[in-house]
Amino acid sequence: MPTVKPFWKGLTFQVLAAMLLGIAMGFALPELAVKFKILGDIFLKLIKTAVAPLIFFTVVHGIASAGDIKKVGKIGVRALIYFEVISTLALALGLGWANILDIGAGMGGNVSESASSAVTATLAKGHAPASTVDFIYTIFPDNFVGAFAGGQLLQVLVISIIFGFALLALNHEKRSVIETGMSRISECFFEFINLIMRLAPLGAFGSVAYAVGSNGSTVLLSLFNLVLMFYVAVAFFIFFILGTICRISGFRLLRFLKYIKDEIIIVLGTASSESALPRLLQKLERFGCSRQSVGLILPTGYAFNLDGTSIYMSMCTLFIANAYGIDLSWQQQLGILAIMLVTSKGAAAVSGGSFVVFAATVTTVGHLPVEGLALIFGVYRFMSMAIATCNTIGNSVATVVVARWCGEFSETEAREEYTRAPGRRPESLL
């Protein structure tokens, strides 16, 4: 019989334990805790070194392995339709929930100078696009290597798609040689990621310790309602909306979440959806999604299907409006929703993520005071955990749903993969 690995050697337990230690240190020794931020930063930097190349290789290989342009177009178009529908539902959920709660009403807009300075620094680092036209312009790179060096995932995605179609235009003999070489390099990157993932507990400890130590209990209590209600909205979106979609598509969400639980815990601890991308690319393919569907849908979803970001942006927009006593009509809210449908796609294209893009949206809207950004900046780290987790789960579900929709999913492989875990029944997943 195979030896069962002790639970304390599992990555899930180690990351959870590291997070609890980080929370304890953040409250007990806040000044010391903030110094451990470097551990989280180093872990994320190491992960990000492989993200852009992995997206390039998987998207190119996904297009090339499809065999013809029609098949690529079929998967791509259906994926984009799915992304837009689900993103709209996420934005509408955030706006509706914030209106029902009247979130932020009566809070007042007084913020500290230090918080305002922190917001300014974050925005300066992020270089958020000032308008929709600027955002569209920045999607297209002017330098092949620069897109990778700058970590601009949307630009890498554009390069990957064009390169993939160029590879598809070659004859089979030439294409197979290049595909084989790229496949081997991709495998090497995955092993590179596996080595880095051993540092995940340290990264989670440093990130959580810094978040608690730098914000403290005062900020947590003053904005507790916003954070709690945001988590409620995210939970509703995952378990009700995504759960319904999974049920309609023929598989169970809870069973699927158990299958990717290690990746969810890592994302929750690091507050970065990128930290799980390399492992998900492998895991979803083993789960039964074809290589071309995983290579096309999952990386594209990281740019176009940011469900957690959408909920965050819509709820925080209403929070700032109510905190400053600004009454937004339904017409204005629908206009903001339309703007966010575009700007939310930029969260993967700028440094600083969801907060930077949200700040760009507030600036674009014009109805809201930019100073209000400092109100939520203090708790952004805590909200970003749920944002990243929701984005990761949403894109994982999207990959399976669209793959099944396109006939690129093997239920036999899914059952075999799932039953590899001890104590699981083959019929319990699908």
Question: Got the DSSP string for 14-44?
Answer: HHHHHHHHHHHHHHH-HHHHGGGHHHHHHHH
Contact 22, 209 (CB under 8 A): yes
Query: Tokens standing for 212?
Result: 């608690």
Question: So what's the pLDDT on residue 237?
Answer: 96
Which of 100, 104, 115, 120 lies closest to 321, judged by CA? 104
pLDDT tens per residue, range 324-366 = 778 878 888 888 787 777 666 655 544 445 766 676 667 656 6
How far is the C-alpha of 58 from the C-alpha of 51, rounded, in Å?
A: 10
User: Model pTM?
Assistant: 0.69
| Average predicted confidence (pLDDT) for the chain | 78
Instruction: Give the residue-averaged pLDDT of 7-28.
Output: 80
Query: Which of 17-21, 43-47, 147-151, 400-404 reaches the highest mean pLDDT?
Result: 400-404
Contact 178, 170 (CB under 8 A): yes
Query: Tokens standing for 8?
Result: 């304390």
pLDDT at 409 over 50: yes
pLDDT at 266 over 60: yes
Contact 128, 359 (CB under 8 A): yes
pLDDT tens per residue, range 115-124 = 555 555 555 5
pLDDT tens per residue, range 177-200 = 887 888 788 778 778 877 887 888
